[in-house]
Amino acid sequence: LIITGNVFALLRNHLRGSGCQTYIADTKAHIESINTYYYPDVIVSCDQKDKAFHNFLRYPCLIIEVLSPTTEAFDRGDKFADYRHLESLQEYVLVSQTRRNVEIFRRNSEGQWVFYSYGQGENVHLASVDFHCPIEDVYEDVNFESPAVENSPKP
C-alpha cells in the first residue's frame, strides 16, 4: 500500500495541470476489444475521451501494478497479454514489493514491447508521461525486512 501511494503521489504531482489524470486502485481499465476489466494499482490517462466515463478508463497510456506473491504470475502473464489490446497503452510497469526493482514494458514505434529494468541507485523513467525520479522515491518509507525474520526467536 505504501508503494502504491508513493507512485500515485509522485505521478499526480508531476502531472498536475497537464491534462492527464492519475487514478489509484478503484478505477477500472476497460479493455473493450475483449470485454474485460481490471483494477490496476495506478492508471494514467491523458485522453480527453476518458473524462466522459465514471469508474473506468478506456484509453490509458500508463498502467502500474505493484507485485504481490499471489498476483505476480497473473500480472506478468495473462493480465499483461490482455492489457496489450489497449492501443493507447504506452507503458506497463511492474513494481516489486520485496526489493527495489521497477520493470517497465514500453511499446516502441513499431508496436513491439521493449523491457527496461531499474534497481537500487537508478532513476526510473516513464516515457509515456515524461517522468523521472530516483527509485528511492518509489520505495520511500518501505521496510524490506521480512516479518518472519523479525519475529523469529533469538538464540
What pLDDT does residue 155 have?
45
Task: Please report where in the chains the cell 479493455 appears, as a residue.
Answer: 31
What pLDDT does residue 112 have?
97
Q: For the chain, percent helix, then strand, then coil, each to nearest 5?
A: 30, 30, 40
Residues of the chain short of pLDDT 50, as ranges, are 148-155
What pLDDT does residue 24 have?
92
Q: Which domains does the chain have, with CATH numbers?
A: 2-150 (3.90.1570.10)
What pLDDT does residue 146 have?
57
What pLDDT does residue 51 have?
84
Alpha carbon distance 140, 32 (integer Å): 36
DSSP 154: P
What pLDDT does residue 52 have?
84
